[in-house]
Amino acid sequence: MTKKLITDIELAQAGHANGISTHLAAKGPSGRLTEAEKQAIIENAAAAYANFLEALGCDWKNDPNSEDTPRRVAKAYVNDLWAGRFQPLSEITAFPADGYDGIVQESNIPVTSMCSHHHQTIGGRVNIAYVPSKDGKVVGLSKLNRIVEHFARRGAIQEQLTVAIHNAVDKICEGNKGIAVMLDATHNCVSCRGVKHHGASMQTAKLSGCFVNEEATRAEFYKNIELAGRHRS
Ligand SMILES: [Zn+2]
């Protein structure tokens, strides 16, 4: 089974916080950044963050806790928080469904993201399901986790993140009968700033095909989320 590079799955414009970086976009559809190029991005971002701290009256150079902070923050953005903006989604292998046309679901996929508006973290769980056709395609389960990481590790708008995950799964699982994605998350920009309400959570869902047209399939999706909840904690 050959691996396939999935392209044309980015919903947001390159350069936007929820899109890929302008550096990666300049490389073309299947281009990658070299380690040296990533390092240069980290260096530039660290210098800019040092200015940001100075603007806030932080004498970071003389504070033992802050002297490496510009670099730490820059590295965290490039390697973790916004990692999905600096590399294309890796190749994904889809396998023949071989006659299976039931629901395939992964629930409770942890998601860590960051809101595009305030750069505060978003944390929660994603639930993904699809129904392959008998002669369609299925993917290795961990690939669903990888798709979540690719789109969540960047600036995000939860509604748009839900659709981006949905569309990528739809594209990879060729010949599917329907896709369901439900995201349940808390936003630190709501709990730590502004209204400062702790514990409020946001649910978004994008359903298509049989999950829209068949009440029983949709009910099975939400029932599976409940069942999977038993494995948590
Ligand atoms: Zn926000």
- pLDDT score of 197: 82
Query: What's the rounded Cα separation, in Å, for the pair 127 and 143?
Result: 13
Which residue in 12, 187, 191 sits closest to 115, CA to CA? 187
Ligand 1 midpoint to CA 189 (Å): 5
Ligand 1 midpoint to CA 127 (Å): 22
Residues with pLDDT less than 70, the chain: 1-6, 232-233
Ligand 1 midpoint to CA 16 (Å): 15
Ligand 1 midpoint to CA 19 (Å): 17
- pLDDT score of 6: 67
Ligand 1 midpoint to CA 36 (Å): 32
- pLDDT score of 233: 60
Ligand 1 midpoint to CA 121 (Å): 8
Ligand 1 midpoint to CA 53 (Å): 21
- pLDDT score of 90: 82
Ligand 1 midpoint to CA 18 (Å): 13
Largest CA distance in the chain: 66
Query: What's the rounded Cα separation, in Å, for the pair 18 and 221?
Result: 27
- pLDDT score of 189: 86
**Full-model pTM:** 0.93
CA atoms lying within 13 Å on the CB side of residue 181: 24
How does pLDDT run across 47-81, given as a tens digit for each residue? Answer: 999 999 999 999 999 999 999 999 999 999 999 99
